Amino acid sequence: MELDIQIYGLGVLVRRVEPTSPAHGILKEGDVIVSFDGVKVGCEGTVRFRSSERIAFRCLISKKFSGDSAELGIIRDGSYMKVQTILQPRVHLEESEDSIGLKLMAKARYSLASFKGEQIVILSLVLANEVNDGYEDLENQQILKFNGTRIKNIGHLAHLIDTCKEKYLLFEFEENFLAVLDRERAFCCLAIYPEELWYPERKICRFAGAIRGYRRQSTAK
């Protein structure tokens, strides 16, 4: 089915499909979900709610019961299609939020640096701002790449952001998670935050969240 011009600019990217999910084999990594049960999903992951208001599209999922079906409108390889899937709770390992933080700290403390000055850069939280719509639940994630360039340390990330001329700021995290921000909108947000909230390394403002760098231990004595 050819793409309808009305669905351009809509949808959220499927970055991974859990092996235990009923959607495994139905959805694929790289699909773009543009509708849920006929309701259009915006590119920031929201749906229309009460006239001009919008809300995260997971509210539609929360109205379902385990075992209910849902119709998803998706774009795959440039073609639009509809698929049906069953909704089930995620299957978690026995792992608490605290243990996730401990794992990140263990990586920072005990992993050996591959070069001098290497840091693990962590996005610990996302601030409430229109430019961050859709990423509110992103926290305690290691930033691996920025616009395709692997991050060396927090100063390196600051330099890449500061000198970026691309239309979008693309952050790549572990588990194939991506965060994309409009560069002009993101930089306009800098003015609303006082400099006290900026980090010293080239003054990274927390328009995308609290970004921290943990230095890896070196083997040098």
SS3 content of the chain, % helix, strand, coil (to 5): 25, 30, 45
pLDDT for the residue 211: 52
Domain boundaries, the chain: 5-86, 97-215
3.40.718.10, 3.40.50.620, 2.30.42.10, 3.10.520.10: CATH of 5-86: 2.30.42.10
pLDDT tens profile 191-217: 666 555 555 544 444 444 445 555 555
- Locate 59 and state its tokens: 């509210």
pLDDT for the residue 198: 55
Say whether pTM exceeds 0.85: no
Most confident of 96-110, 176-190, 200-214: 176-190
pLDDT tens profile 162-172: 889 999 999 99
Q: Which CATH class is domain 97-215?
A: alpha beta
Q: What is the mean pLDDT of residues 74-101?
A: 74
Beta bridge partners of 53: 49
Domain 5-86 matches domain 97-215 at the CATH topology level? no
Q: Tokens 């006929």 — which residue? A: 38
pLDDT for the residue 110: 64
